[in-house]
Amino acid sequence: MLRYFIWTIGCQMNKAESQQIAGYLDSVGHQSATSFSNADLVILNTCVVRQSAENKVLGTLGLLKGLKNKHPNLQILVTGCLVDSDTQELKRRFPHVDLLFKPGDYHELIARSKRRGVFIEQEASLSTTPSPCAFIPIIQGCDNFCSYCIVPYRRGREVSHPLGEIVCEVEELIRRGIKEVTLLGQNVDSYGHDLPEHPDLADLLNELSSIDDLARIRFLTNHPKDVSLKLIDTLASLNKVCEHLELPVQAGDDDILRDMRRGYTLEQYRELVHTIRRQIPQISLSTDIIVGFPGETEEQFEHSLSLVKEMRFDVIHVAAYSPRPGTIAWREYQDNIPSEVKKERLHKIEELQAAIASEINSQLHGKDVEVLVEGRKKEKWFGRTRSNKLVFFEDDDDWLGQLAKIQIEKTSPWSLGGKVKK
């Protein structure tokens, strides 16, 4: 038996993959450790989508080098977006790492680990989890090549998981007590185009909806240029599919969108949001915005602010542009917006969004919402509404994994608080 510690940074895809790796290691008899220092095996699940994430990964690798000097038997495995197809350079830079494997490439993990006799003793399922919510990757990679993004270079081209396998995986999770699944992909709208019968995301949602005891289904991330009317109809008609969409706009200016190679105009994005809101009035929308893209003028940034005011998103993930070596933007544009300006723009979006989210959430005051309880933090239960709002409440009963009806008594831009209605 080994004690393992998995360090994860980055998107939900990474978190899902770490969850699967942990499930695998548990199922073959290993135990999770509480920190690097009491682990025999460390797995870093990395992200290099932004410079700040890459810096954290490099810092952690440096820390582990020191730890390995003290404990030479410590095994270090690295996966995630740091690992590209040419691992030679990474091996040269990080000789203290025992194994580098590409995201989702568990076969490589199992095969190489067996060869080395490292820690795998028997075959087992890669999907156990104690939480009532599970993340399930349905498509790996991305074919889009947005100019700023490193993902297609690191995660490769789109590969969909067969529909039947996903259904079986969800059925198995349900048997283990899972109530909610979130289907993951860099672009879930591309799901199935590479499979023999070309099923799409709407077909998959229909199949999953018929599974008894599955209470909720979510999916992310959508690409605004690829969301189909069929998907919107399906979202509107299936009760189990939650009313929430992650629809990254990235910028509020057509010239910047063109340079980002996003494949849609603002008008098309607006039209899509209006269509969705017309059919599903209770939908909550999250988006991503990048500020300080090369050449972004003050006026172009103002367009992003105006879009935020107009669209009234529920949540915005805002990031300052950082050039990623190897991408189109890195090759073709100069990173010419000073970092203080990027920071200032980022704060302006955050401030505006906090005010908007505060108004949106305050409308829930006094209302009843359904919450799937995911756990306990600081003596309070917490979980999410169908619209993905985080809700806290206090109660002595055991609510883990239950659907609770909560009357909202407190709201903020980031979360809600209330009491259980029994």
Binding site for ligand SF4 (CB under 6 A): 142, 144-146, 149, 151-152, 186-187, 223
Tokens of 197: 């019968």
Closer Cβ to ligand SF4, 11 or 369, answer by number: 11
Q: Which is nearer to ligand SF4, 146 or 276 (CB)?
A: 146
State the Cα–Cα distance between residues 134 and 181, nearest whole angstrom.
5
Shortest distance, position 326 Cβ to ligand SF4, whole Å: 12
Smallest distance, ligand SF4 to C-beta of residue 49, A: 8
Given the complex with ligand SF4, which of 35 and 85 has the nearer CB atom?
Answer: 85
Q: For 391, phi and psi rounded to 5 degrees?
A: -125, 135
Q: Which residue lies nearer to ligand SF4 by CB, 132 or 185?
A: 185
Q: Which is nearer to ligand SF4, 150 or 356 (CB)?
A: 150
Residue whose CB is less far from ligand SF4, 130 or 152? 152
Neighbours of 48 (CB within 10 A): 23
The token pair at 45 is 């699940």
In the complex, least distance from residue 186 CB atom to ligand SF4, rounded to whole angstroms: 4
75 in Cβ contact with 118 (< 8 Å):
yes
C-beta of residue 80 within 8 angstroms of C-beta of residue 14: yes
Query: Could you give the CA distance from residue 293 to residue 66 in angstroms, rounded to a whole number?
Result: 37
150 neighbors 173 (Cβ within 8 angstroms): no
Task: Supply the minimum distance, in Å, between the C-beta of residue 241 and ligand SF4.
Answer: 22
Give which of 274, 287, 275, 263 is closest to 356, Cα–Cα.
287
User: Measured from the CB of residue 174, what is the shortest distance to ligand SF4 in angstroms?
Assistant: 29
**Of 368, 356, 357, 359, nearest in space to 409 by CA:** 368
Shortest distance (Å) from residue 149 CB to ligand SF4: 3
User: CB 329 → ligand SF4: shortest distance, Å?
Assistant: 11
C-beta closer to ligand SF4: residue 43 or 146:
146
| Sign, Cα dihedral of 341, 347, 351, 354 | positive
> What SS3 state is found at 364?
coil
Q: Supply the minimum distance, in Å, between the C-beta of residue 162 and ligand SF4.
A: 22
Least Cα distance to 178 among 127, 134, 239 occurs for 134
Shorter beta-carbon distance to ligand SF4: residue 145 or 414: 145
Q: Where are the alpha helices (DSSP H) in 136-253?
A: 151-155, 163-175, 201-209, 229-237
Of 230, 22, 38, the closest CA to residue 127 belongs to 22
